Structure 1
Amino acid sequence: MDRLSSTAILPDTFQGTRDDLSMQMGLIWSQIKAPLMVPLLRLVVMVCLIMSLMLFVERVYMGIVIVLVKLFGRKPERRYKWEPIKDDVELGNSAYPMVLVQIPMYNEREVYQLSIGAACGLSWPSDRIIIQVLDDSTDPTIKDLVELECQRWASKGINIKYEIRDNRNGYKAGALKEGMKHSYVKHCDYVVIFDADFQRTWGQSVTVNADECLMTRMQEMSLDYHFTVEQEVGSSTYAFFGFNGTAGVWRIAALNEAGGWKDRTTVEDMDLAVRASLKGWKFLYLGTLKVKNELPSTLKAYRYQQHRWSCGPANLFRKMVIEIIKNKKVSTWKKVHVIYSFFVVRKLVAHIVTFCFYCVVLPATVLVPEVEVPKWGAVYIPSIITLLNAVGTPRSLHLLVFWILFENVMSLHRTKATFIGLLEAGRVNEWIVTEKLGDALKAKAGVKAPRKPRFRFGERLHVLELLVGAYLFFCGCYDVVFGKNHYFIYLYAQAIAFFIMGFGYVGTIIPNS
């Protein structure tokens, strides 16, 4: 009888303990909520709204400028004095400037033939062009393949140089800098840079694998806006834009005057562009010329790329902001453009406000209903910004909701990388070459084999995404029970997006060899 009584009492004891703990937690929350959490959250909301307005004004400004450029703007051939190269019987091909084409490579098994072949097929007098393959490959088999490909083109009469070095110091910047030291470069007037995944001509990027998976379609939408709007606006207004590191032509005189390639950040291309601009050189963007390139189609490759693209500009801003302010060769307005528009709004605020506001602060207001976000800040401004970003890719307008959710997830890594760059923390100089697949997937598609993930399930888990997804899901559930703003619709959708990417189910899953 005693045994039965004690058994019956135990569950009530546990229930009482659990109720006591809940009451204590609730009491602590109620005590700190009013004096601490509410004022703090209101302050954070105000900061986020200010950043949202900064981004909104920048997007509207660029939208107005691009419309005016398209309607009334003078074309580059009218803005600048130039003359087409004419055939001269006496001078022959010497009327053409000498051009160096640099192709930096690192273990590019899938794309080395495409990139070398495209460069060797450029329409330019063969005695006025030098193709320079800068091979930093660590795989001896790939090195041999690249060297054999260069020898094959050399046997056809192409002036192609295969250059290697005994270290990878400075990564891509180090390879390009080393390539400029060769004696034959002294005879060149221009240098053209192509990454291994770019082919044929220079100008606006055209993705060759945008339809490979949903993730590449999302990337296409972001890149199209960058090229068709951001680059065009910078070129048309201040003759400055961030060089993307590939598919561009440089006067060697401009490169040398700016101080050449530097490896102090992971965005050596942007570093060079800013320094050249401060020396008074003008940049011209030609959106009518198209360039084929490959987008990363695996989540792992894309995350590494986005870390480099977000961390590098933040770190460069830290290193150059004082130099830009003190510069006396360019106008004050151009310095304001470079510091405020180019760096602060586009490279810092855009990443931080996307994650902090829409994935942290806005959900937090569900838990603290005393703090309200005005509808213009929660709905209208982000909607207009999203629509302005989407104009570059009309064919993907039906994917707009997926793009928003995808970009919000990626903003987690971009924000983290931005702070790493600003603070010069651990991974500030991390450089991992973006994996290219080339025609590998097409070749493997014809082979009837089970599609198995390259990575084990445990290796595909991304803890940060899962934690943020759990937080958003909890806020969504709380909003369903206690809320009144119907944020749960967005919160559930965004939580699912974080969970999908957290479990690695996005991008191309590559079959085993």
Structure 2
Amino acid sequence: MTTVEIIFLAVYFSLLSVLGVYGSHRYRMAFLYYRHKFKLPTPNGTLKVLPKVTIQLPIFNEMYVVERLVESVCRIDYPRELLEIQLLDDSTDETCGIARACVERHRQKGHDIVYIHRVNRQGFKAGALENGLKLASGEYVAVFDADFVPSPDFLMRTVPFFADAKVGMVQVRWGHLNREFSILTQAQSIFLDGHFIIEHTARNRAGCFFNFNGTAGIWRRTTIGDAGGWQHDTLTEDLDLSYRAQLKGWQFIFLPEVISPAEVPVDMNAFKSQQHRWAKGSIQTAKKLLPTILKSDLPLLVKREAFFHLTNNMAYLLMVLLSVLMPISMVVRFQHGLYGTLFLDLPFFITATASVCVFYVAAQRERGVKGWERFKYLPFLMSLGIGLAINNAKAVGEALLNQQSGFARTPKTGAEGKNVKAVKKSYRGSKTLMPVVELLFAAYFTGALWFAIDSRIYTSVPFIILFLAGFLYVGMSSLMQGLAGRRTKVPDAAPAVTSSEEQPRQAA
């Protein structure tokens, strides 16, 4: 073998090794979960009187879900004189009129609810929350995104934990209103189940840092101020504030048994936009806070988990590199008669792929799913994760290169169960040239599959199929949904309401 080929294989196996480390971290999460599974959180003390609570509802162009959101929040069981609701609307379309009318209806029913509109999106969601906080009167602040439907007992099950003066935030688990809509929504729901049921529980009960997820949680107001307030220098203001607050010594509580249902994206482009924002924001937060965390006197366990948590999306960048090198590695080793060395890949692939199976099967088991239902989506989950690699690697690259971008909203359609509304074009996920790149990768792996079968390198075939299927599905779904969006013309529900004459903060 030439020196170039030796160096090439060394780089290839180095990538596999690093990905294997990140993959094996899932085993650790599962281990910590089962080790601490029965350490159920209970309130430390009793509140003598119920406190005043402000619920903030940040929205931007959410005409299909804003009424559902407000109605569900107004059904929350809590003394009306102690509950304030803020609808923080940065919308630029007919959502403004719908939201105003909805707020007024509920004000007439006796709810303390205000409509606050900004003429600009400075700071995006973080800016809206910060702006609303200036007008809030509650000692505690709960946040719900537009697609959530909180249960009536949300406050009565979370507020008691603030009897402990050290508790700064309580997060509940997300449910999924439209899990059954498609295989894509099924996969997203399973991904989120793994994050909440296994990761959040493991981190919280093992004494590590975990994060507020931007919604379905409640903060002690003084915690937000002590941690430096809402900041908008990253795309994940929730993750950023969470780590800053815990660095200050505040304790967080996660309640997996309390569920707030929400809508997951039904459109591949919307899903990719959401994933891009989360991936980019996590790396931005890692660059901002990880040096401070590693230099602190926190326990090694906390530092190690913070490192894996904040840098986990780096694996997507490595996955793209691996996708380029894997077929070439197979060809190089075959041409030099090193067919047997293909078995060296197996430990690394098993570390990375088998960990996915263990992790998500555990999450579904804990959710109460039985038998074959726990396993049937696993091949699709692995392929989808691979197919997202290019989209998320781009996000990681932008964060590493300090490329700034706006807060891209995840389009909501009001989907529940298997029903979805026809939506206007501007509410669909954004279209980019990314599907072309993904389909080129699919074509690349099609050639690799042909070579593997023709050369009888059957040990590589299952892995090549996973990569091929992932890039093909993500690329084709993005392309077809983008084209469908251009052909579909859905009339607007009502004339747009302009906001050029609005004041920066206006309460109804």
Q: Which residue of 1 aligns with 2:501?
A: none
C-alpha separation in 1, matches of 2:140 and 2:103? 21
Q: TM-score, normalised by structure 1?
A: 0.81
1:119 matched to which residue of 2?
A: 73
Matched residues in 1 for 2:55 and 2:466: separation? Answer: 47
Q: Deviations over 1:323-348 (max 9, x none)?
A: 223445x445423332x23223x332
Counting only pairs closer than 5 Å after superposition, residues 264-303 of structure 1 correspond to structure 2 as 264-303=233-272
The one-character-per-residue Cα deviations of 1:248-304 (angstroms, maximum 9, x if unpaired) are 111001111001000001000000001001100111100000111000110111111
Matching of residues 66-215 of structure 1 within 5 Å: 66-70=33-37, 73-77=38-42, 81-83=44-46, 85=47, 95-139=49-93, 141-182=94-135, 185=136, 187-201=137-151, 203-215=172-184
Superposition RMSD on alpha carbons, in Å? 2.6
Question: Taking structure 1 as reference, are residues 461 and 423 closer, same or farther at Cα in structure 2, changes over 3 Å only?
Answer: closer
Matched, 1:308 2:287: no
Higher relative contact order (CA 8 A, sep 6+): 2
Residue by residue over 1:407-455, the C-alpha shift from the partner in whole angstroms, topping out at 9 and shown as x without a partner, is 1101221122112112213xx433210001104984758xxxxxx9x99
Deviation at 1:57, TM superposition (A): 3.3
AA matched with 1:463: V
Does the C-alpha gap of structure 1 residues 297 and 120 become closer, same or farther in structure 2, counting only changes over 3 Å?
A: same
Does the CA contact (< 8 Å) of 1:211 and 1:217 recur in 2? yes
Shift of 1:355: 3.8
Task: Give the equivalent residue in structure 2 for 1:423.
Answer: 401
Output the CA distance in 2 between the equivalents of 1:105 and 1:265. Answer: 19
Q: Secondary structure at the match of 2:251?
A: coil
| SS state at 2:388 partner | helix
Q: Which runs of 5+ in 1 are unaligned?
A: 1-32, 87-94, 446-451
Instruction: Give 2:450's match in structure 1, choosing from 477, 493, 502.
Output: 477
Equivalent in the alignment of 2:347: 377
Write the distance in 2 (CA, Å) between the matches of 1:386 and 1:333. Answer: 22
Check the 8 A contact 2:283/2:399 in 1, yes or no: yes
Deviation at 1:239, TM superposition (A): 4.8
Distance 2:420 2:392 in 1: 33
Amino acid at match of 1:189: E
**Residues 287 and 489 of structure 1: CA distance in aligned 2, closer, same or farther (over 3 Å):** closer
Kept after mapping to 2: 8 A contact 1:198/1:293 = yes
Q: State the distance in 2 between where 1:145 and 1:481 align.
A: 61
Is the CA contact (8 Å cut-off) linking 2:23 and 2:356 kept in structure 1?
no
Give the Cα separation in 2 of the matches to 1:444 and 1:255: 37
Identity, % of aligned positions: 27
Cα distance change of structure 1 residues 444 and 62 upon mapping to structure 2, 3 Å threshold:
closer
Compute the displacement of 1:460 (Å): 8.8
Tell me which of 252, 269, 294 is aligned to 2:221: 252
Whether 1:488 aligns to 2:461 is yes
Cα distance, 1:353 vs. partner? 4.1
Distance in structure 1 (CA, Å) of the matches to 2:388 and 2:287? 23
Q: 8 Å contact 2:20–2:349 — kept in the other structure?
A: no
Contact 1:135 1:164 in 2 (8 A): yes
How far apart, in 2, do the equivalents of 1:294 and 1:246 lie? 12
Note if 1:323 corresponds to 2:299: no
Matching residue within 348, 352, 357 for 2:317: 352
What is residue 242 of structure 1 aligned with on the other side?
Answer: 211
Q: Which amino acid aligns with 1:67?
A: Y
Residue 129 of structure 1 aligns with an amino acid whose one-letter code is: L
Distance 2:420 2:308 in 1: 44
Residue in structure 2 matched with residue 398 of structure 1 by the alignment: 376
Q: Is the 8 A contact 2:188 2:264 kept in 1?
A: yes
Whichever residue aligns with residue 193 of structure 2, its letter is D
What one-letter code is carried by the residue in structure 1 that aligns with 2:149? Answer: Q
Pair 1:512–1:484, CA change in 2 (3 A): same
**1:435 corresponds to which of 403, 411, 417:** 411
Decide whether the 8 Å contact of 1:313 with 1:343 is kept in 2.
yes
Q: Distance in 1 between matches of 2:352 and 2:317?
A: 14
Report if aligned partners of 1:205, 1:293 keep a CA contact under 8 Å in 2.
Answer: yes
State the number of aligned residues. 447
Deviation at 1:375, TM superposition (A): 4.4
Paired residue type of 1:335 = K
Structure 1 residue 396, shift from structure 2 partner: 4.7
Residue 209 of structure 1 aligns to which amino acid in structure 2? N
1:488 counterpart letter in structure 2: V
- Equivalent position SS for 1:290: strand
| Deviation, structure 1 residue 503 | 2.6
Whether 1:51 aligns to 2:14 is no
Superposition TM-score, scaled by structure 2 size: 0.82
Question: Which of the pair has more CA radius of gyration?
Answer: 1
Contact 2:387/2:472 (CA < 8 Å) preserved in 1?
no
Provide closer, same or farther for how the CA distance between residues 498 and 50 of structure 1 changes in structure 2, counting only shifts above 3 A. closer
- Aligned partner of 1:165: which letter? R
Q: Does the 8 Å CA contact 1:133/1:162 hold for their aligned counterparts? A: yes
Counterpart residue type for residue 235 of structure 1: N
Segments of structure 2 that go 5 or more residues without pairing to the other structure are: 155-171, 491-508
Q: Which amino acid aligns with 1:341?
A: F
The answer (yes or no) to whether the contact 1:267–1:308 under 8 Å persists in 2 is yes
Q: What's 1:232 paired with?
A: 201
Change (3 A) 1:40 1:375: closer
Q: What displacement does 1:504 show? A: 2.7
